[in-house]
Amino acid sequence: MTPQTAAELAKFIDHTLLAPEATRDEVLSTCRDAVAWQVAAVCISPSWLPLPLGVMDEGLRLCTVVGFPSGAHTSAMKAAEAAEAVRNGADEIDVVVNLGLVRAGDWKGVEAGVQAVRNAIDEMAGERVLKVICESAALSDNELRNTCRAVVAGGADFVKTSTGFHKAGGATERAVAIMRETVGDSVGVKASGGIRTTAAALAMIAAGATRIGASATREILAGMTA
């Protein structure tokens, strides 16, 4: 469904603040904005969890990142980080794939790394969403396809384009389209990294994204009708 209003578009957005220099007040302001705009989720660094009581609105999901931003962590460390985040209130985990394994074509290793995180969060009470950041701009089309297949086999609920921190760049419509074609309709696709305008967000949705990760949520929503 193509969103027609700001309220509809908000349901696609993970309102994000992952700047390492972000302060507590900035994080709490981001959460309050997310509540006001009724976005899909708010995504913040794990060091800010758990949030103070009363910050989150019932129904708003809390997302955090794991193995971020390099992905070059051991699977055990990613699993432990994800489990701690869930204990601290996270509903959704965005974990960075191990790019070294991707570039080596070690698809079983990629799958096993994701499965370790999946197992860790599945051991906790409640259902948690697992998104895997593929860092699409750093990969060839074939590497991206194989990465998507491996992380879905490992238990990913979403494939995600980018951290927004890699020198290769962020999301592109082409990458989103490849990811959607590869995973089919049963797995989500999150476009993230450099999406700052309404037009860019809508283009990613048209290409197949079901979530948009953005820090420029205010500007994105301002371009839509009420």
Q: Where are the domains of the chain?
A: 6-222
pTM over 0.95: yes
Q: Is 167 a catalytic residue?
A: no
Q: What is the pLDDT of residue 116?
A: 98
Q: What is the pLDDT of residue 226?
A: 53
Distance CA 32, CA 165 (A): 25
Q: What is the pLDDT of residue 212?
A: 98
Report how far apart, in Å, the C-alpha atoms of 26 and of each of 21, 63, 91, 159, 216 are. 10, 16, 21, 28, 14
Q: What is the pLDDT of residue 192?
A: 98
Determine which one of 78, 131, 157, 190 is catalytic.
190
Q: Is 11 a catalytic residue?
A: no
Name the maximum alpha-carbon separation found in the chain.
Answer: 48
Q: How is residue 225 annotated by DSSP?
A: B
Q: What is the pLDDT of residue 215?
A: 98
CATH number for region 6-222:
3.20.20.70
Q: What is the pLDDT of residue 1?
A: 79
Q: What is the pLDDT of residue 94?
A: 98
Q: Is 94 a catalytic residue?
A: yes
Q: Which residues contact 101 (CB under 8 A, 6 or more apart)?
A: 109, 110, 113
Q: Which residues of the chain have pLDDT under 50?
A: none
Q: What is the pLDDT of residue 57?
A: 85
Determine which one of 94, 108, 141, 185 is catalytic.
94
